[in-house]
Structure 1
């Protein structure tokens, strides 16, 4: 029985060599002359563009904000995938997770490791192409604070269980990211290369989602009863840590656009907190919530209350 759930949900393994982006994908190229009139990122997915102080900026500054938001979208996911997901994938592939992982699932984990490295490559490649074509440089943002926040949330939620906490971080991120990626490819107003890269990424992540949702079922089955309540109550805080905006790059972008520091801080307070943030977390986390429910994680005492406390229902 060990690992059967992960195997059942991991997709068609033999098809990876024909369908994964790293095996079969083309390099996506930004063609500036073909993209006049299109946006680099959907404006409704750039929350600060709707703020009154930002609407008063010249059109050129608004365009720069949108491009820099694309950079943040591409590179923040890259940081999480290489610094968090691949570490967990390598543990699974190396059979170092505290229980025996079947070889087919270990091979799947190595395939995911390859995918994530390629996602990071083509995300940075596209960002570089757009920077060269538009003259809008990629800011020297440090995503270490975002990564550290996710890791610290795991340590605080599951003290004394570093491997388990990290695996849960990976599972949560990989079951959330598909919903985020699916918001972009169908928008015809977005430049083609951005839609294509995001679609390529979402296609691979759909397969990763199935693997990690299955792996969660297997992991849950191997947990000691005393750990199950701790794990179930830890998941909503991990969801929130992954989905709460990293506002340091946003603030930097607003300053580069010409807002003064007090105004930029006011934009962050008005846009990136309160009910809007809670609503976004609830919407994006629904697939992860269903995964927990199907595994039985919401049936342990206090679990549903913990999810509700974080606005996830």
Structure 2
């Protein structure tokens, strides 16, 4: 009987976006002013009084948030997800994986490369059509933060990379859920996010099953070590990127004091933790189903991070 990872890919050649969807092109002559770039309820700083009183600034920040998300997607898929799927697909993950599980990882590798391609493609199309240039994006700050988890255990670098992809690929964020259903958004943006969401459903199933395989190979001491990393991995995976917002505000001449005020008011610790908690429900549920939170110290670590199941 095929493994759970393989079952997720039984119809990959018919269902995967890279196999069945066309290149999403902005329609000729389409007036982007009729549409929003991104759902404003998903942009923390859009409700700030300074932004609300300036429609031109609000429109600009809305576009920049979409550009930021598309650029993040392009970098994350190849820099984090495909870093791990390459290990699995080539038999270098440090655990035994049957050939069909390795092939599933290679199929994800192809999917994620395509997600990166069409994300950057859409940024360039939107820049050309809207006349709004994307503020330069730097992924290194996020990646350095993610890779800092487990840095005290340099001999477990591969394991950390596998845990990164399991954590992120089992999260459920509002973007993939809300954007495709919003008729006020640019149609082609809705289409690529829907394409992405379909593929990510398959990836979620694969990595949920893969984590069970991975967990089963760990020793007791390794499980204790990993359990200590997991809350931090969730927080670092979902921590809002405020630097791109600051850079976007800076690009239009916003004074530094005002930038600090907008960022501080819009990304309060309580709001940030609340958003992370909502997006991580499925991931925490997966970890709990493996008995990881049965250990009192691990449960306390999740609770301190605001991620214990009873808080979800």
- TM over 0.5: same fold? yes
Q: Select 2:48's aligned residue among 48, 51, 57.
A: 51
The answer to whether the Cα contact below 8 Å between 1:172 and 1:239 also exists between their aligned partners in 2 is yes
Q: 1:179 to 1:41 in 2, by over 3 A?
A: closer
In the TM superposition, residue 305 of structure 1 has moved relative to its aligned partner by 1.1
In the TM superposition, residue 104 of structure 1 has moved relative to its aligned partner by 0.7
In the TM superposition, residue 12 of structure 1 has moved relative to its aligned partner by 4.3
Output the CA distance in 1 between the equivalents of 2:57 and 2:168: 32
Is it true that 1:111 corresponds to 2:107 in the alignment? yes
Q: Select 2:120's aligned residue among 115, 118, 124.
A: 124
Q: 1:26 to 1:190 in 2, by over 3 A?
A: same
Output the CA distance in 1 between the equivalents of 2:137 and 2:126: 17
Q: Deviations 1:26-72 (Å, cap 9, x if unpaired)?
A: 11112352554220100111111111122222x22211110110001
The answer to whether the Cα contact below 8 Å between 1:178 and 1:209 also exists between their aligned partners in 2 is no
Partner SS for 2:246: helix
Output the CA distance in 2 between the equivalents of 1:301 and 1:12: 34
Output the CA distance in 2 between the equivalents of 1:283 and 1:10: 29
300-309 or 239-248: bigger deviation = 300-309
How many residue pairs get aligned? The number is 307
In the TM superposition, residue 10 of structure 1 has moved relative to its aligned partner by 4.3
- Counterpart position of 1:184: 179
In the TM superposition, residue 155 of structure 1 has moved relative to its aligned partner by 2.2
Output the CA distance in 1 between the equivalents of 2:241 and 2:132: 21
Is it true that 1:308 corresponds to 2:303 in the alignment? yes
- Counterpart position of 2:81: 85
- Counterpart position of 1:38: 35
Output the CA distance in 1 between the equivalents of 2:294 and 2:80: 28
Output the CA distance in 2 between the equivalents of 1:193 and 1:10: 31
Q: Deviations 1:152-200 (Å, cap 9, x if unpaired)?
A: 12425x5531111111011111112565422311111111111111010
Normalization by structure 2: what TM-score? 0.93
Q: Select 1:289's aligned residue among 284, 288, 292.
A: 284
The answer to whether the Cα contact below 8 Å between 1:229 and 1:301 also exists between their aligned partners in 2 is no
Output the CA distance in 2 between the equivalents of 1:55 and 1:22: 39
Normalization by structure 1: what TM-score? 0.93
The answer to whether the Cα contact below 8 Å between 1:8 and 1:214 also exists between their aligned partners in 2 is yes
Is it true that 1:19 corresponds to 2:15 in the alignment? yes
The answer to whether the Cα contact below 8 Å between 2:32 and 2:130 also exists between their aligned partners in 1 is no
- Counterpart position of 2:91: 95
Output the CA distance in 2 between the equivalents of 1:60 and 1:277: 26
Partner SS for 1:107: helix
- Counterpart position of 1:66: 62
Is it true that 1:162 corresponds to 2:140 in the alignment? no
Q: 1:11 to 1:195 in 2, by over 3 A?
A: farther
**Superposed CA RMSD:** 1.7
- Counterpart position of 1:143: 139
Structure 2 residues without counterparts, runs of 5 or longer: none
